[in-house]
Amino acid sequence: MFTYRLWVQTHPFLSAALQFALLGTLGELAASSFRARRPSLPCTASQLLAKVLAWALLGLVIKAGFVGMRGFTRALVDHHILPAFLGFGLGGAFALSTLTNLFFGPQMMLFHRLEDNLILRRRGFDGMAPALWTLLWFWVPAHTLTFSLPVDYQLGLAALWSLALGVILGLRSRDHSLPRV
C-alpha cells in the first residue's frame, strides 16, 4: 500500500487517468459480458481503445471535481451554511458525497455520454434517466465510504466503484428479476 500511496501522491493526475482507464473499461467489459452471457466487447476494438482514452480523460475530470467539491463543501461548513458536524468524519463524508453527486455528478455523466456518443457515432441521451438515478441509490452511499478514506485512496476506490457498477448493471440487464434502477 505504501508504493500505491506514493505513486498517487507523486502523480495524482496520471494515477487518476490510469486507474479510471483500467477499471472503468473493465466495468464496461463486465457489463457487456453479463448482458451477452459470455465474454463480449461492448463495441469494436478500435472503439474500445477510444473508450479507454475517454475513461482516462474522465479520471482527470473526476480528480479535479473531487478537489473542487472538497473545497466547496469545506467553504459551506466554514461559512456556517452547513452544520459543523458535516465538516468531519462520517458526516463530512456524507456531505461531500451528497454535494458531489448533486452538483458535479449530472454534468460528469452527461460529459461521459458525449464521449460515448462521439466514439460510437450515436446521437441522443436515451437511458440517461436511469443513469442519473444511480447518483442517489449507488453513488451517494458509495462515495460516502470513498470520502471516509484518506485522500490518497479515494480516487482508486471511485474507479473501483465504476467497475462494480458495471457488474451490477450488467447483472441487472441479464436478469430482469432484479430491481429496476
Digit-coded pLDDT (tens) for 91-108: 999 999 999 999 999 999
Which residues of 15-87 form beta strands (DSSP E)? none
In a domain, 158, yes or no: yes
Residue 127 is predicted with a pLDDT of 87
pLDDT band of residue 128 (cuts 50, 70, 90) is very high
Cell (9 digits) for 139: 453513488
Taking the CA atoms of residue 120, residue 123, residue 126 and residue 132 in that order, the dihedral angle to the nearest 10 degrees is 80
Q: Give the chain's count of helices (H) and strands (E).
A: 8, 0
pLDDT band of residue 180 (cuts 50, 70, 90) is very low
Q: Kindly state the percentage of the chain with pLDDT values over 90.
A: 90
pLDDT band of residue 175 (cuts 50, 70, 90) is low
Residue 176 has pLDDT above 70, yes or no: no
Residue 174 is predicted with a pLDDT of 64
Residue 143 has pLDDT above 50, yes or no: yes
pTM score over 0.85: yes
What separation in angstroms does the CA of 155 have from each of 15, 61, 148, 170, 180?
9, 11, 12, 23, 28
Residue 177 is predicted with a pLDDT of 44
In a domain, 136, yes or no: yes
Residue type, 54: A
Residue 172 is predicted with a pLDDT of 81
If one compares 112 and 178, the residue with the highest pLDDT of the two is: 112
Mean pLDDT score of the chain: 94
* Residue 18, number of CB atoms within 10 A of its CB: 16
Domain span holding position 76 = 13-24+45-166
Residue 181 has pLDDT above 50, yes or no: no
Distance (Å, whole) CA 145 – CA 119 = 32
Question: How many structural domains are present in the chain?
Answer: 1
pLDDT band of residue 170 (cuts 50, 70, 90) is confident
Residue 36 is predicted with a pLDDT of 92
Residue 145 is predicted with a pLDDT of 98
Taking the CA atoms of residue 73, residue 78, residue 81 and residue 85 in that order, the dihedral angle to the nearest 10 degrees is 80
In a domain, 134, yes or no: yes
In a domain, 38, yes or no: no
